[in-house]
């Protein structure tokens, strides 16, 4: 079975069970070799989140989830490949030898530190591994910055070198007002070097570069039309487009589930973990309000990310997105 079909089948089984979890493992806290302007990690301000955890610390944490039937383990940062290779390898061996049910492993990285050792470690997971690399279109202004090197050149070199060795490699991009017009060409260029999986997330900050929810929906509509017209769907997996057009999307920002944030746990250190995902900085998760639940598109919209402050266009934009998708589905039936 092709890996995409395996992952789709696994996600479907996961969502039909109460026994699934995403574990975000931050062995090096927020340490990173880059200083991207929009990185939400900058808001943490907690020295404990900058500490390095040992393999023993992580293993003791992971032991709490061995009986879960569906586990997604995400090595995150900062930059996870700043961690000691041998320590990560010990954790990797524990996962392979002790998780007895369905599990998947992913590394979320800026892609600058990829090397033969890290790739070899990931290959040892077989078809259970995925690699997610953060990279944006340059546009009129690049909000991603390295401290002392040409990060983009390095990432592209690494992608060309390693994309054929890991079957499931994806590019995660942050869309803002300086690059929103450049994403289409970015996909085409990345696809030429072998990338097939793309995710376009909206920048949610307040640096004066964010786009509104309505502008993001306009972006998604234009990309979706290109995706269908050019038949990109035959060779490219583009999120959130694919999930939005599926019968049951699995993206938390569109999931209509009161408990969706509790399906994520974050490990910051031996005495510091969170019952929610890493985006919930203050650890005080909001609840989905009655206004959302009573909305005609709630089952599609899900109220968005509960840790995000919604702008004034949010509700109308989500309704417009829902109507657009229904219209496209109707036209293509």
pTM: 0.90
Cis bond leading into 240, ω under 30°? Answer: yes
Give pLDDT, residue 258. Answer: 87
Give pLDDT, residue 13. Answer: 45
Give pLDDT, residue 51. Answer: 75
Give pLDDT, residue 308. Answer: 84
For residue 168, give the nearest of 333, 331, 5, 332 by alpha carbon. 5
For residue 126, give the nearest of 103, 98, 160 by alpha carbon. 103
Largest distance between two CA atoms of the chain: 55
Give pLDDT, residue 5. Answer: 46
Edge-to-edge strands, sheet with 264-269: 237-239, 197-202, 169-175, 129-134, 102-109, 70-75, 20-25, 264-269, 272-274
Give pLDDT, residue 285. Answer: 66
Give pLDDT, residue 288. Answer: 86
Query: Cα 312 to the chain's mean position, in Å?
Result: 25
Distance, in Å, from the CA atom of 172 to the CA atom of 74, rounded to the nearest integer, reads 14
Give pLDDT, residue 269. Answer: 87
Burial of 201 (0-12, 13-18, 19+ CB in 10 A): middle
115 lies in which domain range? 3-331
Distance, in Å, from the CA atom of 233 to the CA atom of 241, rounded to the nearest integer, reads 10
* List of the chain residues with pLDDT < 70: 1-18, 40-50, 207, 281-286
Beta pairing partners, 102: 70
Give pLDDT, residue 326. Answer: 95
Q: How many domains are contained in the chain?
A: 1
* CATH code, 54: 3.20.20.70
169-175 and 102-109 beta bridge pairing:
unpaired
Give pLDDT, residue 333. Answer: 73
């Amino acid at each position: 079975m092709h890996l995409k079909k395996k992952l789709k089948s696994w996600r479907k089984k996961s969502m039909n069970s109460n026994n699934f979890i995403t574990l975000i493992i931050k062995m090096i806290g927020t340490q990173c070799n880059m200083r991207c302007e929009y990185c939400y990690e900058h808001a943490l301000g907690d020295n404990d989140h900058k500490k390095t955890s040992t393999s023993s610390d992580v293993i003791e944490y992971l032991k709490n989830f061995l009986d879960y039937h569906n586990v997604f383990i995400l090595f995150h940062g900062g930059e996870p490949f700043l961690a000691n290779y041998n320590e990560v390898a010990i954790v990797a061996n524990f996962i392979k030898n002790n998780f007895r049910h369905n599990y998947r492993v992913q590394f979320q990285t800026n892609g600058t530190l990829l090397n033969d050792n890290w790739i070899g470690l990931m290959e040892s997971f077989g078809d259970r591994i995925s690699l997610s690399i953060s990279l944006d279109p340059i546009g009129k202004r690049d909000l991603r910055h390295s401290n002392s090197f040409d990060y983009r050149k390095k990432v592209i070199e690494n992608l060309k070198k390693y994309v054929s060795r890991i079957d499931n490699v994806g590019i995660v991009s942050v869309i803002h007002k300086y690059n929103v017009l450049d994403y289409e060409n970015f996909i085409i260029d990345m696809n030429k070097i072998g990338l097939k999986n793309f995710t376009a997330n909206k920048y949610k900050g307040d640096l004066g570069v964010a786009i509104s929810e309505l502008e993001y929906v306009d972006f998604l509509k234009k990309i979706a039309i290109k995706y269908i017209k050019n038949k990109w769907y035959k060779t490219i997996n583009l999120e959130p487009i694919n999930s939005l057009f599926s019968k049951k999307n699995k993206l938390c920002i569109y999931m209509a589930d009161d408990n969706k944030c509790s399906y994520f746990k974050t490990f910051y250190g031996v005495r510091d973990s969170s019952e929610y995902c890493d985006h919930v900085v203050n650890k005080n998760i909001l609840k989905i309000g009655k206004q959302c639940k009573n909305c005609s598109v709630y089952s599609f919209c899900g109220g968005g990310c509960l840790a995000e402050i919604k702008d004034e266009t949010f509700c109308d934009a989500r309704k417009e997105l829902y109507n657009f998708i229904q219209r496209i589905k109707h036209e293509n039936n």
